[in-house]
A and B are shown apart, each in its own frame.
Chain A
Amino acid sequence: DIQMTQSPSSLSASVGDRVTITCRASQGIRNDLDWYQQKPGKAPNRLIYAASSLQGGVPSRFSGSGSGTEFTLTISSLQPEDFATYYCLQHNSYPWTFGQGTKVEIK
């Protein structure tokens, strides 16, 4: 199985900060990676697909990059509504696997 190592597990940031979250795959997965945002008590929402494509309706302050084994989600200017938990998901091979999640909290 492909292991997804996500870091950091949590971070504290202020409104307006630039935030970067990383996912590392245990083997190459091309660009078969999505990023999801989850708020408490809610189902996840997809932000980025195919590593760098922005989901329709998602603000442009979110961006994704990477290929192979290293991937990054960047929030260019953190907004109050962005405080949530973020997950990467690889869909290169079965079983699909999520990263452990990154909780973004208010500093």
Chain B
Amino acid sequence: EVQLVESGGGLVQPGRSLRLSCTASGFTFGDYAITWVRQAPGKGLEWVGFIRSEAYGGTTEYVASVKGRFTISRDDSKNIAYLQMNSLKTEDTGVYYCTRRVGQNLDYWGQGTLVTVSS
């Protein structure tokens, strides 16, 4: 069974950093791209960015609002993807989901982890 489990969320002050993890099981993690999507409280979904598989260079894409502050990486030996979030802003508050990407489709999602940026 394919599973994605996010962790690492919590309360953090503006300007500080946080690293989220996405631990995968039930499939060959290294063969897939991983995407991060977030949702502010009571708001819609926002695509944050993704990392390609190593077969496609392991390169990344980001939405403009996080570019230069967030970094997605992966450790295929541990079946984990990371979202390193620096210089956090209050508007980064929300639930962060990791998803498996197959071609152009997001077929499996984790349950999400809540990040609250507040002083």
B111 interface residue, CB < 8 Å from A?
yes
B109–A43 CB distance below 8 A: yes
The DSSP consensus for interface residues of chain B is strand
Nearest CB of chain B from residue A79's CB, rounded to whole Å: 23
Stretch of A13-21, A60-68, A69-77, A97-105 on the interface side = A97-105
Q: Which of A1, A44, A96 has the most chain B CB atoms closer than 10 A to its own CB?
A: A96
Cβ–Cβ < 8 Å partners of A32 in chain B: 104
In the bound assembly, the distance between CA atoms of A94 and B67 in angstroms comes to 12
Chain B proximity mask over A85-101: 1 for CB below 8 Å, otherwise 0: 00101010011111111
Which interface class (under 10, 10 to 19, 20 to 34, 35 or more) fits A? 20 to 34
Partner of A49, one of B47, B49, B105, B110: B105
A98–B111 CB distance below 8 A: no
B31 interface residue, CB < 8 Å from A?
no
A98–B45 CB distance below 8 A: yes
Partner of A46, one of B35, B44, B106: B106
Task: Decide: A43 near B97, CB < 8 A? Known: A89-B47, A91-B104, A100-B44.
Answer: yes
Report the nearest B residue to A56, measured CB to CB.
Answer: B107
Which interface class (under 10, 10 to 19, 20 to 34, 35 or more) fits B? 10 to 19
Q: Which residues 16-73 of B have a CB within 8 angstroms of A?
A: 35, 44-47, 49, 61-64
A44–B109 CB distance below 8 A: yes
Cβ–Cβ < 8 Å partners of B63 in chain A: 95
Residues of A within 8 A of B (CB): 1, 32, 34, 36, 38, 43-46, 49, 87, 89, 91, 94-101
Please give 19 more A-B residue pairs, beta carbons under 8 A apart, in addition to A38-B45, A45-B109, A95-B47. A34-B105, A34-B106, A36-B45, A43-B97, A43-B110, A43-B111, A43-B112, A44-B45, A49-B105, A89-B45, A89-B47, A91-B104, A95-B62, A95-B63, A98-B44, A98-B45, A98-B46, A98-B47, A99-B44
